[in-house]
């Protein structure tokens, strides 16, 4: 029986897989045109599986040489001679499975870069098929000048071949996290970013490797058919998987794997099943999440940028030439959402601010336990959200004085999320939606059991802005089919008498507290 796979290459006979035929057709067009390009996507974004499926499609028409730099270490990059021998040996090994005759004629020995160029010319004359070279994990060993020299040599051969003065690979595909421009900055991270590259012959790779809901449905149909389930809710489940993951391949497969192997659900999936899977994945450590946090911790500017985006509800225009946006996208943390910067998916958003909550709690040494003891706020399977907000108001009054105004200005939303987290842990989770308005307010949507609570977080900007905000919240409640909403206003005015307020607008009720 097939299973869901989240490690290494996916194999159609062994694993439930999304049908990416349309993406493969788009990539095939680039190859058929003889293009050189780089597939640069974040970790566990399906690059290796895409390369594997491509190779299967290409092998009848082309001679395919498929190699990987993963696991070769730093030794091959010490000098040209060792690199050349390693590269030729990898080529020879790859061809031994597809074209043994050519494989046996490759001279895998130490040679200079110019001699390697001549050997590549000779190899291309040995076969009557055009050669497609595929190199996976190029940035595993790319933080050195020798690799750039190698790319420069391939570039020269490409240009000379177009003039009819050389023979070289018909198409080259490099795959890795970084694009070649960022490889250059990766070598010297403290230098000014430069975009001149020995790989400027490469065409842009604009094919989206994330899964849309229709593509996700192909995997769900395969699974349902295999297990003998009805197909009534495939579209809905696929859309919900996309809602939580934004189509990030690893996350889509991981949620499915959790439902199948850990939760052992033996029937059609429901929204409640998916919510439980999300709760499970958020509690688990995996290399994907560890890499996400490591990338934030290793770059202070990146951390602060994501903090402002995810906690303070800041809005940024998407511009890939802005270095911090460029790096955040390379690492899969953000995406371009209609010209605006947005966290790549809701699960990442949750993982990141869970981590930021922990940092805040440790740094501030705040003890929430006197205020947020969970049983005080639970009535059956519902949250008493009004009481939660009143207790939070008391906590802020007693724990933060006028001297903490700047700290509260920056961290108010994070303090609230840290306060409420132990209350909803186990049965609920919360996602945030930044609402585009003059106030750039942040709505926290909490799911607890089967109930939803919408809490708007904002700073006080005056009575007129407040009235507009109330109207916008009423509209947001209407969109989400909710009759009651909640409002937390961070008001740092010294002479503010506002405490709490019950607001009626149209057929909606809003409970507001000032902190």
pLDDT tens for the chain, 515 residues long, are 899 999 989 999 999 999 999 999 999 999 999 999 999 899 899 999 999 999 999 999 999 999 998 888 888 888 999 999 999 999 999 999 989 999 999 998 999 999 999 999 999 999 889 999 999 988 766 557 888 889 999 999 999 999 999 999 999 999 988 776 555 544 444 444 444 467 888 898 999 999 999 999 999 999 999 999 999 999 999 999 999 999 999 999 999 999 999 999 999 999 989 989 998 999 889 999 999 999 999 999 999 999 988 887 788 999 988 999 998 999 999 999 999 999 999 999 989 988 998 888 776 666 677 777 778 888 888 899 999 999 999 988 888 876 677 788 778 888 888 888 888 876 776 676 655 444 455 678 888 888 889 998 888 888 888 888 898 889 889 988 899 999 999 887 766 677 889 999 999 999 999 98
CA distances 122 to 58, 85, 87, 158, Å, are: 22, 15, 15, 15
Question: What is the per-residue pLDDT for 169?
Answer: 97
CA torsion through residues 9, 13, 19, 23, sign: positive
143 Cβ contact partners less than 8 Å away, ≥ 6 residues apart: 183, 186, 187
Residue 393 backbone phi and psi in degrees, to 5: -60, -45
Report helix, strand or coil for 340: strand
Q: Mind spelling out the 3-state secondary structure of 414-458? A: HHHHHHHHHHHCCCEEEEEEECCCCCCCEEEEEEECCEEEEEEEE
**pLDDT of 210:** 96
- Name the DSSP class of 75: G
Q: What is the pTM of this model?
A: 0.85
Would you state the pLDDT for residue 292?
Answer: 96
Both tokens of 325, joined, read: 């946006």
Q: What is the DSSP string of 213-248?
A: HHHHHHHHHHHHHHHT---TTHHHHHHHHHHHHTT-
> What's the confidence (pLDDT) of residue 499?
85
Chain-centroid distance, C-alpha 135: 23
For residues 248 and 344, what is the distance between their CA atoms, to the nearest angstrom?
8
The pLDDT of residue 498 = 76
Q: What angle do CA 37, 41, 44 make, to 5 degrees?
A: 135
- pLDDT given for residue 422 in this prediction: 83
Residue in this structure with the two tokens 């579209």, named with its chain if needed = 235
């Amino acid at each position: 029986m097939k299973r869901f796979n989240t490690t290494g290459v996916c194999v159609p006979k062994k694993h439930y897989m999304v049908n990416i035929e349309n993406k493969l057709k788009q990539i095939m067009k680039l190859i058929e045109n003889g293009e050189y390009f780089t597939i640069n996507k974040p970790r566990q974004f399906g690059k290796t599986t895409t390369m594997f499926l491509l190779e299967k499609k290409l092998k009848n028409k082309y001679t395919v040489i498929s190699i990987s730099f993963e696991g070769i270490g730093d030794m091959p990059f010490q000098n040209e001679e060792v690199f050349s021998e390693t590269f030729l040996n990898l080529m020879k090994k790859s061809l031994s499975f597809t074209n043994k005759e050519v494989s046996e004629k490759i001279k895998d020995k130490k040679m200079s870069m110019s001699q390697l160029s001549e050997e590549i010319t000779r190899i291309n004359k040995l076969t009557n098929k055009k050669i497609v070279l595929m190199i996976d994990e190029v940035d595993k060993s790319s933080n050195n000048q020798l690799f750039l020299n190698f790319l420069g040599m391939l570039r020269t051969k490409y240009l000379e071949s177009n003039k009819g003065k050389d023979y070289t690979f018909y198409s080259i595909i490099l795959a890795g996290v970084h694009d070649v421009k960022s490889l250059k900055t990766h070598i010297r991270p403290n230098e000014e970013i430069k975009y001149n590259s020995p790989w400027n012959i490469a065409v842009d790779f604009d094919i989206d490797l994330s899964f849309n809901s229709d593509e996700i449905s192909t995997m769900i149909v395969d699974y349902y058919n295999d297990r003998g389930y009805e197909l009534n809710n495939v579209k809905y489940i696929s859309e919900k998987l996309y809602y939580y993951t934004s189509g990030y391949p690893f996350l889509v497969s991981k949620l499915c794997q959790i439902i199948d192997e850990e939760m052992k659900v033996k029937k059609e999936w429901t929204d409640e099943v998916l919510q439980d899977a999300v709760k499970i994945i958020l509690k688990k450590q995996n290399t994907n999440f560890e890499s996400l946090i490591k990338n934030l911790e290793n770059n202070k500017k990146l951390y602060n940028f994501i903090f402002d985006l995810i906690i303070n509800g800041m809005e940024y225009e998407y511009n890939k030439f802005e270095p911090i946006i460029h790096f955040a996208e390379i690492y899969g943390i953000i995406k371009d959402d209609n010209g605006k910067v947005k966290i790549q998916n809701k699960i990442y958003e949750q993982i990141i601010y869970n981590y930021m909550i922990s940092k805040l709690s440790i740094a501030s040494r705040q003890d929430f336990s006197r205020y947020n003891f969970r049983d005080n706020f639970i009535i059956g399977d519902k949250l008493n959200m009004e009481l939660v907000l009143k207790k939070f108001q008391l906590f802020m009054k007693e724990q933060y004085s006028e001297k903490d105004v700047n700290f509260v200005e920056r961290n108010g939303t994070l303090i609230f999320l840290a306060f409420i987290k132990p209350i909803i842990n186990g049965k609920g989770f919360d996602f945030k939606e930044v609402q585009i308005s003059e106030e750039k307010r942040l709505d926290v949507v909490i799911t607890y059991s089967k109930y939803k609570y919408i809490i708007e977080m904002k700073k006080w900007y005056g009575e007129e802005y407040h009235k507009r905000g109330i109207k916008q919240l009423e509209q947001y409640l209407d969109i989400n089919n909710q009759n009651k909403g909640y409002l937390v206003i961070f008001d740092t005015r010294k002479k503010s008498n506002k405490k709490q307020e019950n607001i009626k607008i149209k057929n909606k009720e809003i409970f507001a507290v000032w902190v």
